[in-house]
Amino acid sequence: MTVQQAGTGASSDRAMHWNDVDWARCYREIRRLQARIVKATQDGKYGKVKALQWLLTHSFSGKALAVRRVTENQGRRTPGVDGLTWSTPRSRLQAVKSLKRRGYRPLPLRRIYIPKADGKRLRPLGIPCMVDRAQQALHLLALEPVAETMADPNSYGFRATRSTADAIEQCFISLASSNRAQWILEADIRSCFDEISHDWLVAHIPTDKAILRKWLKAGYLHNSVFHSTEAGTPQGGIISPTLMNMTLDGLERTLLAKFCRGGRNPSKVNVVRYADDFVITGATREVLEDEVMPLVVQFLAQRGLSLSREKTRITHINDGFDFLGMNVRKYDGKLLIKPAKTSVQRFMRKLRDVVKGNATLRHDRLIRLLNPKIRGWADYYRHVVAKRTFNKVAHAIWQCLWRWAKRRHPQKNSHWVRRKYFRTVGARQWVFGTATDKVLSNGKRELLTLYDIVGTPIRRHRKIKGAANPFDPQWESYFEERLGFAMMDSLKGRMRLIRLWLDQQRSCPVCRQMITKSSGWRLYHLERKIDGGKDTISNLTMLHPDCHRAARALGLSVVKPASAMGL
Summarised one tens digit per residue, pLDDT across range 101-113 is 999 999 999 988 8
The single-letter code of the amino acid at 245 is: N
Q: Compute the average pLDDT of residues 1-30.
A: 66
282-317 b/e with 16+ CB inside 10 Å = b? Answer: bbeeebbeebbbebbeeebeebbbebeeeebebbeb
> Given pLDDT bands bounded at 50, 70 and 90, which one contains residue 536?
confident
Residue 225 identity: V
Of all helices (H) and strands (E), which one includes residue 446? strand 445-449
Are 252 and 279 in contact by the 8 Å Cβ rule? The answer is: no
3.30.1600, 1.10.30, 3.30.70, 1.10.3470: CATH of 473-554: 1.10.30
Mean pLDDT is highest, among 124-128, 147-151, 503-507, for 147-151
Inter-residue contact 305 to 145 (CB < 8 Å):
no
Calpha distance 285→291 (Å, rounded):
10
Q: Assess contact for 314 and 183: CB atoms under 8 A.
A: yes
Q: What share of the chain is helix, strand, coil (3-state, %, to 5)?
A: 45, 15, 35
Q: Which of 209-213, 263-267, 348-352 has the lowest mean pLDDT?
A: 263-267
Average pLDDT over residues 276-298: 95
Lowest-pLDDT range of 147-161, 215-229, 341-355: 215-229
With contact defined as beta carbons under 8 Å apart, do 244 and 277 qualify? no
In this prediction, residue 563 has a pLDDT band, given cuts at 50, 70 and 90, of: very low
pLDDT digits (tens, 9 = 90+) for 476-495: 989 988 888 888 887 877 78
In this model, does residue 567 exceed pLDDT 70?
A: no
pLDDT of residue 545: 84
Domain boundaries, the chain: 341-455, 473-554
Is the pTM for the entire model greater than 0.85? yes
| Confidence at 13, pLDDT banded by 50, 70, 90 | low
Whether the pLDDT of residue 404 is over 80: the answer is yes
Give 564 or 41, the one with higher predicted confidence. Answer: 41
pLDDT at 4 over 50: no
